[in-house]
Amino acid sequence: MAVNITKHFGMRYIERIKQIKDKNERKVYYTKNQEKITEDANKMLEMSEFVWMGQLGDNITRKFFINGNIILVADTDETALITLYKTDYGFPEKANRAVAKELLEKLYELKIDLEQAQEEAGEQVDKVDLEIENIEAELKSLRSQTSLLEIKKKAKTEERKGIMSMTKFVKEEVDKTAKLLCNSIEYRADVKEFEAGK
């Protein structure tokens, strides 16, 4: 799939790859060779390696590719090349190439480490997810048991009220019968006497 190039990319290609430094010459070259620049850029991208997708220098996410000592920057959909530049760490070109090569090798190692770490983490996460599912099932069972116990408790509370109302009824009968038994004419006379004697 052919990728479009931005005008900025084209101008940087002319300046940094074709080594045309004069601004006017770059404009003329761009106008005359736009198709060739696009073709060359696509070949460079095809032969490049994906390095990273992220934000560098601003808050726009982009994809970064490397081809030798050239970094190509594309949009995240890889529909357009935005810019390109040589790896430059402030050393002569040969040293810059060596640094870039060493960093690329380190990146390969780190990507392998990351892949292994992600695989191990994935296994551990799967194990933890299973444990979470088991705990959730246990909680569901306990909630169900709690619900059942609440229903049983409510039934026992109602049963207790029934028992207590029976004893209350019997107590009221005891009180009523005791009052009838103790409520004699002589006792009422004594109560009147007690009240009069006050």
- Number of domains observed in the structure of the chain: 1
pLDDT at residue 190, rounded to an integer: 83
pLDDT at residue 170 tops 70: yes
CA–CA distance, 9 with 74 (Å, rounded to integer): 10
Q: Is residue 9 part of a domain?
A: yes
Asked whether 20 and 26 are in contact (CB, 8 A), the reply is yes
Q: Is residue 117 part of a domain?
A: no
- Identify the residue with better confidence: 32 or 93: 32
Q: Is residue 99 part of a domain?
A: no
pLDDT at residue 145, rounded to an integer: 94
Q: Is residue 20 part of a domain?
A: yes
Q: Is residue 132 part of a domain?
A: no
For residue 23, the enclosing domain spans 4-86
pLDDT digits (tens, 9 = 90+) for 5-28: 999 999 999 999 999 999 999 999
Question: What's the Cα-to-Cα distance from 92 to each of 101, 103, 111, 121, 186, rounded to whole Å?
Answer: 14, 16, 28, 42, 131
pLDDT at residue 171 tops 70: yes
The token pair that represents 61 in the structure block: 């996410």
Q: What mean pLDDT value characterizes the chain?
A: 92
pLDDT band at 174 (very low <50, low <70, confident <90, very high): confident
Give me the phi and psi of 23, to 5 degrees please. -60, -45
Among residues 40, 43, 65, the alpha carbon closest in space to that of 52 is found at: 65
pLDDT band at 193 (very low <50, low <70, confident <90, very high): confident
pLDDT at residue 198 tops 80: no
pLDDT at residue 85, rounded to an integer: 95
Q: H or E element: which one contains 134?
A: helix 93-182
Question: Do you know the residue count of the chain?
Answer: 198
pLDDT digits (tens, 9 = 90+) for 33-58: 999 999 999 999 999 999 999 999 88
Q: Is residue 198 part of a domain?
A: no
The token pair that represents 67 in the structure block: 């081809």
Q: Is residue 158 part of a domain?
A: no
Q: Is residue 82 part of a domain?
A: yes
